[in-house]
Structure 1
Amino acid sequence: MAETPGPDGRSPGRSPAATPLGRFRAEARDAITPRAALVMLGVLVLELAFVVSYIGAFHSPTPERIPVAVVAPEAERRAVIDRLNGIPGEPLSGRPADGVAQARTMVLEREVDAALLVAPDGRADRLLVASAGGPSGVQALERVLQQADPSQPLRITDLRPPNEADGRGLAPFYLAVGLVVGGYLASAAVSATYGARPANPHRMLIRLGALTVLSVLSGLGGAIVVDLVFDALPGHFAALWWIGALTTFAAAASGMAFQVLLGPMGIALSVLIFVVLGNPSAGGVYPSALLPPFWRDLGPALPNGASVTLLRNYAYFGGHHTATAWWVLSAWAAGGVLASALAARFRRGHRPPEPAAATGV
């Protein structure tokens, strides 16, 4: 006599795991644990944040208050500056310069991005630029000035173009990206091998020492590549080496601090800060003056942006206008060391006492 199937379609006495659907559910539970599902969800969030950050930063580069020095006859200077500052959207921020020599100095020392030399008698004005600071910024300036007064001819003089082997002046940006990625990946590799949280402060110091050695070698390797191998940023080997070393250590020490404080989630925080937010705001593909407000304000405060500023300004502009970038990189490095040390000491001081050894009679 045949058995009558139950309400769920199974034969009486047949266990749920014996059905194809039950076996699939059991295999799925074994293949993807709740923790794995949570990690996958975190990866999805980071992926979407990556897309939002990069498209948000680059989808519509718009100049805003680009500093421009103005050289003009004294009777006209104020009017020219007011006209530049009054362009709709405020793409420019004009300021006076006493003469051509001062204007050139202001451009080469990165006090301004360009200098406008107003010619008398309707002749072509001159725009002094330094495209090594970002060719896209120069193109935006030229476009704004031509749209503001199409009838006035404009002649561009590039005081500091990128090196021939540097293409569009992006070598400092790509070098900084590589150094930062190397730093946080090194800290993640140490954590993946021996655990995110060192067992005691001594091991934490040993890890920091290893990351210091790696950072010095990272800076050396980066300087060799951009100077000796590709000749993209020649003539500043020592400066590039130590900027690279500090960049790598800042990312490594910060990444280690995140992991000491948060465990494996610290790696996700490193990716969020250094990749999702840091790279598009670093001022590489587009200068910061062309980025939307959030990325423009954030970039100089992160290691990526500080490193790009240091590498670019030492390679092309004699190290001018770099004090803030030095402080930012140093603060990330010192903050990472301090946070790791305090967290390791706190964990040691609050470790539960080990049980006393059992004694027998």
Structure 2
Amino acid sequence: MAETPGPDGRPPGRPPAATPLGRFRSEVRGAITPRAGLIMLGVLVIELAFVVSYIGAFHSPTPDRIPVAVVAPAAEQGAVIEKLNSIPGEPLEGRPADSAAQARAMVLEREVDAALLVAPQERGDRLLVASAGGPSGVQTLELVFRKADPSRPLQVTDLRPPNEADGRGLASFYLAVGLVVGGYLASAAASASYGARPPDLHRVTIRLGALAVLSVLSGLGGAIIVDQVFDALTGHFAAIWWIGALTTFAAAAAGMAFQILLGPVGIALSVVIFVVLGNPSAGGVYPAALLPPFWRDVGPALPNGASVTLLRNYAYFGGHHTATAWWVLSAWAVGGVLVSALVVGFRRRPAAADGPPSPTAAGGTGATA
């Protein structure tokens, strides 16, 4: 029979701590459980990882092999490209283009970030850019070219600036951030009902169905906000809607898979992947070419970066250069569904081998479902 605690919370017969330090330890043990202490330690780790990731990605943006198409007389084109590629630090990667029209198309189809039109008989050169793909990247390009040859004037032509209501061209980034956060929070909310690990494939299917419906509504809401309410990304309502739906579902399905694999710890893993790593590497604040190697490499493989690419390129560039981003989002969505189904299916097999469940287990109590 359990002993009834005394008025001070200690079992009867146990003397109070004799020293102030002992009393303090006793009070701490009574206020914070070991499990709560571990959770707080985990929060500290995630917090510091957040700081490291964001400062590491943004503290010193440096251009790295930004692709630039070069149009110049045949006798000089090779020398111009070699000069661009030999700039200290390799900020540029020159590529030949046959004509100004081809170079313009390469910029607008996102094959290159800019195009340099060299006219030796004239006093200056012309740089074609598309700041809707990232104003900070265009500013960096201008600085690189002006430093490379300060004596030669450079005329910059912006082929595709952001919409007036899109300001710094960040609407696609903030929309993607909201959609991804909504997705993994939705999966966490679903786990609050009957636990992070559904007991069978039927419950998994129901949860995934609910997340799919929420994702469609999420994409619709996002499209209404950026198109109809703020006029930031206009003229591509249906495309933005379904990109938003897939983005939300990819994060939700992956978040659910993490929770089924790891329990509540899976929510922390979602935060690490989608917030700590995904946001700074998404190419929103700075394009990938300005990020350090780790963030530049990991960004396109995460839902955040894929979503930004899709939203931006459909809103401004006719959907060009988006195949990889579609595959990435689809892989996260399908992978989340398959992992959830397979893990729950394998966990059900040992239980089935032990015989039919008892009436209590079959009915459930609601605490472990």
CA deviation vs aligned residue, 1:248-289 (integer Å, no higher than 9, x gap): 000000000000000000000000000000000000000000
Count of matched residue positions in the alignment of Structure 1 and Structure 2: 345
Per the alignment, in what secondary structure is the counterpart of residue 344 of structure 1? Answer: helix
Once the two structures are TM-superposed, the CA of residue 23 in structure 1 deviates from its matched residue by 4.3
Q: Distance in 2 between matches of 1:356 and 1:142?
A: 73
Give the unaligned 5+ runs of structure 2: 1-12, 360-369
Once the two structures are TM-superposed, the CA of residue 122 in structure 1 deviates from its matched residue by 4.5
Aligned position for 2:51: 51
Aligned position for 2:248: 248
Aligned position for 2:363: none
Once the two structures are TM-superposed, the CA of residue 190 in structure 1 deviates from its matched residue by 1.0
Per the alignment, in what secondary structure is the counterpart of residue 16 of structure 1? Answer: coil
Q: Distance in 2 between matches of 1:14 and 1:309?
A: 64
Aligned position for 1:97: 97
Q: Distance in 1 between matches of 2:217 and 2:169?
A: 24
TM-score by length of 1: 0.93
Root-mean-square deviation (Å): 1.5
Q: Distance in 2 between matches of 1:16 and 1:119?
A: 89
- On the 8 A contact 1:223/1:237 being kept in 2, the answer is yes
Residue type at the aligned position of 2:230: F
Q: Distance in 1 between matches of 2:225 and 2:262?
A: 35
1:71-86 pair list within 5 angstroms: 71-86=71-86
Q: Distance in 1 between matches of 2:357 and 2:56?
A: 56
1:193-272 pair list within 5 angstroms: 193-272=193-272
Give the unaligned 5+ runs of structure 1: 1-12
Q: Distance in 2 between matches of 1:121 and 1:197?
A: 71
Q: Distance in 1 between matches of 2:101 and 2:19?
A: 86
Once the two structures are TM-superposed, the CA of residue 24 in structure 1 deviates from its matched residue by 3.5
Aligned position for 2:36: 36
Q: Distance in 1 between matches of 2:356 and 2:102?
A: 71
Change (3 A) 1:122 1:38: same
TM-score by length of 2: 0.91
Aligned position for 1:138: 138
Per the alignment, in what secondary structure is the counterpart of residue 120 of structure 1? Answer: coil
Percent identical among aligned pairs is 82
CA deviation vs aligned residue, 1:145-187 (integer Å, no higher than 9, x gap): 1111110100000000000000010000000000000000000
Q: Distance in 1 between matches of 2:347 and 2:278?
A: 30
- On the 8 A contact 1:246/1:329 being kept in 2, the answer is yes
Q: Distance in 2 between matches of 1:285 and 1:180?
A: 16
Aligned position for 1:8: none
Once the two structures are TM-superposed, the CA of residue 355 in structure 1 deviates from its matched residue by 7.5
Once the two structures are TM-superposed, the CA of residue 209 in structure 1 deviates from its matched residue by 0.2
CA deviation vs aligned residue, 1:222-261 (integer Å, no higher than 9, x gap): 0000000000001000000000000000000000000000
Aligned position for 1:117: 117
Q: Distance in 2 between matches of 1:189 and 1:179?
A: 15
Q: Distance in 2 between matches of 1:21 and 1:50?
A: 35
- On the 8 A contact 1:122/1:152 being kept in 2, the answer is no
Aligned position for 2:310: 310
Once the two structures are TM-superposed, the CA of residue 83 in structure 1 deviates from its matched residue by 0.2
Q: Distance in 2 between matches of 1:151 and 1:122?
A: 13
